[in-house]
Chain A
Amino acid sequence: MGADLLVAEGIVKRYGNATVLHGVTVTFRAGEVHGLIGHNGAGKSTLLKIIAGAVVPDGGTVRLEGQPVSFSSPSAAASAGVASVFQELSLLENLTVTQNLFLARELGTAGVLDKKAMQAQASDLLRTYGLPLTGQEKVASLPVAQRQMIEIISALARNARVILLDEPTTALERRQIDQLVHTLRRIARERQVAIVIVDHKLDEIFAVCDHVTALTDGRVVLNGPIASLTHADVVESIVGKDEAAASHGNRPSSPRLAADVKALPALTVEGIGAPRGLKSVSFDLAPGEILGLYGLAGSGRSRLLRTLYGLEPFEWGRMTLRGQVYHPASPRNAMKSGLTYLSEERKANGFIPEFDAVRNCMLPVLGRHAWLGMIRKHEAEQEALVVLRSLRIRGNIRAPLGRLSGGNQQKALLAKAVLQKPSILLLDEPTKGIDVGTKSEIHAFIRRMAKESGVAVLVVSTEEEELLTVCDDIIIMNGGHCSGERHEVVALDSGTLRRLALAPPRPDTRFGNAMETVK
């Protein structure tokens, strides 16, 4: 066992009233690959960001080789030897591999580059780690797997002692994953660095790690060498034992209508997928029901919603909307078929920031209040105002929506969705970044909408509690697969949900069949 390289001790982090990390202590040793695992929102990413210098902790200390350190930024951390390779890769695509490896530490004299020396060193490094590259390639022309390796090599070339990887395998294929796992283990041993990996896939954790730390709700629940652990130990620690009792507080008071079950499904999805996207997704959605969709990061939750809304194509499988074949080519298409979608990225693509709440709500339904393209403004505004008032938005609804708080923005977007009178409502993280009070208002609103207007609602959320509160049934996505098997919330708790999501995807017979029908 190597020396303690980096020790994080008693790390505390709060966001507002919520404590994300309750005094977490972990030790990363030289020559070891260390896995961090946990459910959505357990605090893994926050911990990683604190160590990488991207987030400042509210308590605790980080020691690098015995010295207390406090990084002001990821680049400060990197120059001290703590390098992060996160999802958004930081290589410059317009430069060559060699130029990237030597960026901001170019070799040369008096500002004149010593290209030969850099080239020689670069190809040495590349050869050592088994990358079939000369160094002269433009990064833009390389596949993701190689770019990731180049980032890791680049970190090593900058004398990194600790390398942090956030879900490095999400974009990779089986063979590439094996190769990465092999190389990572080798690098850790040979260079005596500590490699820290956040990963959701137990198989990978067991394949690559020497040591594993599991977090649940911001606390370390398991910490030990991988050799002493079984899959079951890890799952049990993440899932927790007394979760079941805790999560029954907020059960939906209005049970499903008996008629729901018999109703013709509003939407039937059969084995849809696309290359490098969803593998095979099937489920039914009935009018008036709220169906939850749960899965870990990278399981394809959001991609499914985007596919249903015509934002991403699917190449196999089929969808049926009220008995008609449904194959949306664009959001406009989907809207005309009665679908409405609230995206997870509220700020990026949820609304027009300069428009006020009223105008944002009116935008998709202007056609209803116009004659020859001229808007009957008063009429349109009155309709929007009625819905906006029922949602009790706090703040000036005549101010640009970009200035309102997240909760009020989300309420406005829900009003916008209601105004469209959809038959199917797709919600991606409907209460992301929203305070508890507003959250329960939104939950009540969603339930009212489904139960009173018969809208079929599909909700994606990383918060188990939210799904358990607002949904009737929950389906599970895992690695691009969804069998459509329903789990009634009454029989669920967040522990069971996590366990279901962690289970490896079943070999899906539908997938093969679907492929054949395409031909």
Chain B
Amino acid sequence: MSSAAKTPVMPRRWSVPDEAGILGMLIVVFALFCAMSPNMRTVSNGLVLLLNGAVIGLLALGQTFVLLIGGIDLSTGANIAFMGVLVSLLMAHGVVWPLAIAMTLAAGAVMGTINGLIIQIFRVPPFIVTFSTMGVASSMALIITGANSISVTQSGFAVIGQGAIAGVPVPVVVLAIFAILAGLLLSKTILGTHIYATGGNREAARLAGVNLTLTTITVYAISGFCASLGGVIDTARLMVGFPTTGLGDELFFSIAAAVIGGVSLFGGVGRVQGAMIGAVLIAVVSDGMNVLNVSSYWQSLVIGLIVLVAVIFDTYRRRHAGTPISETLRAFLRRHGSRRLS
């Protein structure tokens, strides 16, 4: 004790980052696919893989913010469809494409803000609120288009989905930029600290003066923004706004990526780096199975199993906070090995 008190600056002990495990898993999985197929080992395949994963990555980014305060955003996939057709409709009505993008991104943030407001003001569980707005958004996509796909004629818009900077697809660049911004926001700003505090112990955060309303609304707005960016990119890749994109696996994969990457479903724990590794892992599994000609029906099954393992791990980490994994496992065996019927 006395030595610690005298030391002028207590150095932070270097420790293995929480994401090391999942990064290792990503490398192993990637290596396995590469070993099985030479097509996997090409740079062009790598870029395609990242391009296909970019939208999932963006959704996972938004989802990470929401999960960090202990919430969930189920409307994110439906928002892709809504925002994807919104941007194409705006352009069809003569709005120049950069302005159309800006308006769509603002609309996405507004959708998220509405989620946050309802959750915070009416104290409705986020699961229910975003479940409802998921229905609203997917319906809106159909209503405003009459269920027709909307072609984009402004060719400049294509750069968002099909362009490349130094060989790297624009969507991947966009994701990288926003991931870095998100990481900085979480680690360097007051808002970031308040997000972790809210998810760590909501009541303690409130007593410490954290503005829960502002924090909650902001994270859902960020998630809505990320979803609209995903919608814009999806539309730009095909140059068509489909009212039914984003209604497939996107929501599932977005939550999966964050959870696999160590973002806790209980809030307060997790980082952008982890969520991004999770998104890449999902992209690798999808792409690898394509390359190996495995039926795409298997994709969700495999990812579902990975999520299950991640969530079980998360639950045990939470219950045995602070104990090493070996001890956690031992506790698990003690509890379940010798349980008697009562």
A residues apposed to B, CB below 8 Å: 309, 311, 330-332, 335, 341, 343, 348-355, 359, 362-364, 366-367, 370, 373-375, 377, 385, 389, 392, 394, 396-400, 402-403, 416
Partner of A352, one of B9, B191, B196: B196
Could you tell me the distance in whole angstroms from the C-beta of A257 to the nearest C-beta in chain B? 30
A375 and B209 contacting across the interface, CB-CB below 8 Å: no
A398 and B12 contacting across the interface, CB-CB below 8 Å: yes
Residues of A within 8 A of B322 (CB): 399-400, 402-403
A352 and B1 contacting across the interface, CB-CB below 8 Å: no
Q: Top 5 nearest A-B pairs by Cβ distance? A: A352-B200, A349-B203, A403-B322, A364-B208, A335-B209
In Å, the complex CA distance between A10 and B261 comes to 56
A402 and B321 contacting across the interface, CB-CB below 8 Å: yes
A359 and B321 contacting across the interface, CB-CB below 8 Å: no
Residues of A within 8 A of B335 (CB): none
Partner of B190, one of A341, A370, A398: A370
Residues of A within 8 A of B194 (CB): 363
Which one of B5, B190, B193, B207 has the highest number of Cβ atoms from chain A below 10 Å of its Cβ?
Answer: B207
B residues apposed to A, CB below 8 Å: 1, 5, 9-10, 12-13, 188-191, 193-194, 196-197, 200-201, 203-211, 268-269, 321-322
Could you tell me the distance in whole angstroms from the C-beta of A156 to the nearest C-beta in chain B? 25
B188 and A377 contacting across the interface, CB-CB below 8 Å: yes
A364 and B191 contacting across the interface, CB-CB below 8 Å: no
Which one of A332, A352, A355, A385 has the highest number of Cβ atoms from chain B below 10 Å of its Cβ?
Answer: A352
In Å, the complex CA distance between A363 and B192 comes to 11
Could you tell me the distance in whole angstroms from the C-beta of B279 to the nearest C-beta in chain A? 23
Could you tell me the distance in whole angstroms from the C-beta of B201 to the nearest C-beta in chain A? 5
Residues of A within 8 A of B269 (CB): 354
B191 and A373 contacting across the interface, CB-CB below 8 Å: yes
Residues of B within 8 A of A343 (CB): 207
Residues of B within 8 A of A392 (CB): 1, 5
- Chain A residue nearest in CB terms to B13: A398
B10 and A351 contacting across the interface, CB-CB below 8 Å: no
**25 residue pairs from A and B, CB less than 8 Å apart:** A311-B207, A330-B206, A331-B208, A332-B209, A335-B209, A341-B207, A349-B203, A349-B204, A350-B204, A352-B205, A353-B200, A353-B321, A359-B193, A363-B205, A363-B208, A363-B210, A366-B190, A370-B190, A373-B189, A375-B193, A377-B188, A385-B9, A385-B10, A398-B10, A399-B322
Instruction: Apart from A353-B200, A402-B321, list 17 A-B contacts with CB within 8 A.
Output: A330-B206, A332-B209, A332-B211, A349-B203, A349-B207, A350-B204, A352-B200, A352-B204, A355-B200, A363-B197, A367-B190, A374-B190, A375-B190, A385-B10, A394-B1, A402-B322, A416-B208
Q: A349-B201, A392-B1, A392-B5 are in contact. Are A374 and B207 (CB under 8 A)?
A: no
Which one of B189, B194, B197 has the highest number of Cβ atoms from chain A below 10 Å of its Cβ?
Answer: B197
Residues of A within 8 A of B208 (CB): 331, 363-364, 416
B201 and A331 contacting across the interface, CB-CB below 8 Å: no
Residues of B within 8 A of A311 (CB): 207
A363 and B193 contacting across the interface, CB-CB below 8 Å: yes
In Å, the complex CA distance between A396 and B12 comes to 10
In Å, the complex CA distance between A453 and B1 comes to 27
Could you tell me the distance in whole angstroms from the C-beta of A514 to the nearest C-beta in chain B? 28
A351 and B206 contacting across the interface, CB-CB below 8 Å: no
B209 and A353 contacting across the interface, CB-CB below 8 Å: no
In Å, the complex CA distance between A182 and B327 comes to 54
A400 and B321 contacting across the interface, CB-CB below 8 Å: yes
Could you tell me the distance in whole angstroms from the C-beta of B121 to the nearest C-beta in chain A? 15
Could you tell me the distance in whole angstroms from the C-beta of B265 to the nearest C-beta in chain A? 14
Residues of A within 8 A of B210 (CB): 363
Residues of A within 8 A of B268 (CB): 352, 354
B188 and A375 contacting across the interface, CB-CB below 8 Å: yes
B12 and A354 contacting across the interface, CB-CB below 8 Å: no
Partner of B204, one of A335, A351, A396: A351
Q: A331-B206, A349-B203, A416-B208 are in contact. Are A374 and B189 (CB under 8 A)?
A: yes
Could you tell me the distance in whole angstroms from the C-beta of B325 to the nearest C-beta in chain A? 15
In Å, the complex CA distance between A496 and B36 comes to 83
A403 and B321 contacting across the interface, CB-CB below 8 Å: yes
B209 and A364 contacting across the interface, CB-CB below 8 Å: yes
Could you tell me the distance in whole angstroms from the C-beta of A437 to the nearest C-beta in chain B? 12
Partner of B203, one of A348, A389, A397, A398: A348
Residues of B within 8 A of A349 (CB): 201, 203-204, 206-207
In Å, the complex CA distance between A389 and B3 comes to 11
- Chain A residue nearest in CB terms to B193: A366
- Chain B residue nearest in CB terms to A345: B203
Residues of A within 8 A of B200 (CB): 352-355
Residues of A within 8 A of B209 (CB): 331-332, 335, 363-364
In Å, the complex CA distance between A363 and B188 comes to 13
In Å, the complex CA distance between A259 and B193 comes to 42
In Å, the complex CA distance between A389 and B269 comes to 27
In Å, the complex CA distance between A332 and B197 comes to 15
Residues of B within 8 A of A374 (CB): 188-190
Could you tell me the distance in whole angstroms from the C-beta of A428 to the nearest C-beta in chain B? 11
